[in-house]
Amino acid sequence: MTLKGAGVAVLLTMALACGRSQPQTPLTAGQAQGANVLLVTIDTLRRDRVGAFGDRRGLTPTLDRLAAGGIRYTHAFSHVPMTLPAHTSILTGLTPRHHGVRNNTTFRLDERVPTLATALKGAGYRTGAFVGAFVLDGRFGLSRGFDEYNDRLGHPARPTFHIAERRASEVVAAAGSWILAEGADTRSTSTSTRRPWFAWVHLFDPHAPYDAPAGARADLAPYDAEVAYTDAMLGQFLDRLRAAGALDRTLVVVTADHGESLGEHGETTHGLFAYNATLAVPLIVNGPGLAPGEVDEPVAHADLMPTILDLLGSRIADNLDGRSLVRAPARDRSIYFEALDASLTRGWAPLVGVIQNGWKFIDLPDAELYDLTADPGELRNRASSDPRAEALKGSLRLAAGSERSAPAAPRDSDAAARLRSLGYTAGSVAPHRATTAADDPKRLVALNERFTAALTAFDLGRSEEALSAFLSILQTRPDFISARTSAATILLTRGRGSEAVRLLREAPAEQADSGELLAKLGAALRETGDLKGAAAAFERAQQADNQNPELLNDLAVTYAGLGRTADARRLFNVLLERAPASATTWFNLGLFELQNRRPTDAVVAFRRAVEIEPSYGDAWYALGSALVGTDRRLAADAWRHAEPLLPHNYDLLFNLGMLLADGDAPADAIPYLQRFVREAPRPRYADDIVRVRSALARLGR
């Protein structure tokens, strides 16, 4: 029998349909009702480094065991390769278009947007979050709904472009103690007598710079060693919970916020592009009643909140972008993604795109289209030759919908020093303008890498090399705001304030109202002693940045210097209402009170600063200075705390030694005085060295 014409096509289509398995899900609504929830997010973890997703080097035995006993999602994606907006999608069920957080610095989550934490707290859960880096500090809006939001990090000892972070060992120790603190009988099988908990644990270690602790798989490349270390710490954490019975009834969800390029497409880290090296993430769900399985359909971060709520039997809001994975995801669903930081902070072309039916479309001046099945490395751009490009562009327009504007991020004056400028620039949105092919990130990736290298050079102490690199970048792109402000930062750290002022004033005319440039100009003018000019620049920046607290803090300090006491106090009060856990604001308030001869109020402020950041050496030193007139013993205690944190502050060393020498236990002064004589620079401290030697002679040394 011979078949001809359209009938052949129909039969072939039917045969293909019969041979294609329908999407299935191993999940059931309500099957984890009453369970605890443990959400683990591992920063910058590539999917291809996890054994359960194909790696064969044994980097991730903990994750592999979780995957073996749970469900692996082999095509899970981040909506944006950047920490804060990615986590915002995880915790809200919304894409960046609708939660409004588009990069790591300029935005905070609107307080009206519900989160997984607010939903579970409303359902009676005990809620705790434990984050590993400043980029997820509570001031950015994710702390709402958490009874405990543990974001306590050390204060930087010197100016740096590196993000303040802490090791996974510290994060999991804090999380484990919190989980086990309430209800010692975690093994109880009576759910009616046990209050369930929700814990979010964020481990930052795989993020650059890659510096795994000594002994953490020295045979591996630096990035892979970080991955192995993080997995080991996660394993210890889970073993601790398991031994206490705390995992007996716990839903565990593990994913990454994004991946890492490691040189692919010319990008060494993440944030500029949206290829799968940074967009593809591992996703594992493990818990009570969940049979092991694998899901190959496309899923995304926005799906996590509705899925967790569905498994717990909780109500899911109708307006979420994500879909509960309790219902099988459709193979032809579209996944929206974006990478807008370079557009927002540098004026480069905005990058948005969509994944659908195994294809990826990236909408840029030079558009890109990739067959992810045949070309997983995304090396063959088919945008100009394949009609799917236009169809996917239409899908992208449909995915856009209405957008939400998020408020400016509540950053205080230590934020700039805590955020790495590549993807973490502490600045405002660049002025909007039309972009061309010359602004396509693909054409600017080499410039991006030069910028990253300059940041790293400064962090490694090579400030002149970094400064030269930033100035060279500005020769190529005078509109590169972050390069200009970074160069000015270096000039300020080297006491070259006038040069910083001149550099900032040389910015292109269209950037005259840039909040980032104006804020840095204010800092530079203050450094030169022009407090009136600094206040004017900060006030203009404040208007441009919509009352950004970083600007308010700088402005408050400047007002204090100008003697505008009432204005300064008003701004400090506003700052503390917005960010009550900002150690720097409390420190600045303490200095302000000390300057205004209110030592008792200064002591209160300095004590709050060191409670928030026990490693804040300057705050300990200031606390001692505020106490020395009324309680010499407490002053000495504060200076003892400060001394190891400020090892090269010889004023502190002199004051501590001489205070102890005149106290009840003068022998305690000897080691401090001896070190002062041995180390203090002779030209500057010649007279003080004579006094210290006299004191040592009096003490018999």
**Strand pairing report for 351-356 and 334-339:** antiparallel
> Which pLDDT score is estimated for 580?
81
pLDDT computed for residue 155 by the predictor:
63
> What pLDDT shows up at residue 411?
45
Q: Can you say how many angstroms the Cα of residue 119 is from the centroid of all Cα atoms in its chain?
A: 23
Q: 478 by DSSP, 3-state: which?
A: coil
DSSP 368-429: EEEETTT-TT-----TTT-THHHHHHHHHHHHH----PPPBP---TTHHHHS-HHHH---PP
Contacts of 124 (CB under 8 A, 6+ apart): 195, 196
**How many helices (H) does the chain have, and how many strands (E)?**
28, 15
What pLDDT is attached to residue 125? 97
What is the residue type of 189? T
Q: Look at residue 281 in the predicted model and tell me its pLDDT.
A: 98
Please count the CA atoms within 13 angstroms of the CA of 188 that sit on its side-chain side.
13
Please report where in the chains the tokens 């405002």 appear, as a residue: 428
Residues forming beta bridges with residue 361, ordered by sequence position:
354, 369
List the structure tokens of 525: 């003018």
Taking the C-alpha atoms of residue 126 and residue 121, their distance in angstroms, rounded to an integer, is: 6
The tokens describing 637, both together, are 């205690």
Strands of 23-152, DSSP E: 36-42, 71-73, 76-77, 126-130, 148-150
Residue 368, SS3 per DSSP: strand
Q: Report pLDDT digits (tens) over 213-267.
A: 988 888 999 999 999 999 999 999 999 999 999 999 999 999 999 999 999 999 9
Report residue 165 CA to chain centroid gap: 9
- At 425 the pLDDT is 38
Per-residue model confidence (pLDDT) at position 160: 67
How many angstroms separate the CA atoms of 667 and 387, rounded? 84
DSSP category for residue 133 = B
CB 247 within 8 A of CB 286: no
Q: What is the maximum span of the chain, computed from C-alpha positions, in angstroms?
A: 117
DSSP labels, 449-472: HHHHHHHHHHHTT-HHHHHHHHHH
Structure tokens at 381: 């751009």
CA-to-CA dists, residue 299 to 82, 328, 335, angstroms: 18, 10, 8
- Identify the pLDDT of residue 179: 97
User: Contact at 8 Å (CB) between 155 and 613?
Assistant: yes
For the chain, list residues with pLDDT below 50: 1-21, 184-192, 410-431, 546-547
Partners of 281 in the β-ladder: 76
Cα 138–chain centre separation: 10
Domains of the chain listed by start with CATH number: 37-331 (3.40.720.10)
Q: What are the angstrom distances between the C-alpha of 452 and each of 41, 225, 448, 492?
A: 25, 22, 6, 20
**Residue 102 structure tokens:** 């588009």
**pLDDT given at position 646:** 92
318: its two tokens: 């109708």
CB–CB of 534/518 below 8 Å? no
pLDDT at position 140 is 85
**Cβ-based neighbours of 662, under 8 Å, separated by 6 or more:** none
Q: What is the pLDDT of residues 22-32, one digit of tens each?
A: 566 789 999 99
- From 67, 64, 77, select the one nearest 256 (Cα to Cα): 77
Strands 76-77 and 299-300: parallel
Residue type, 554: D
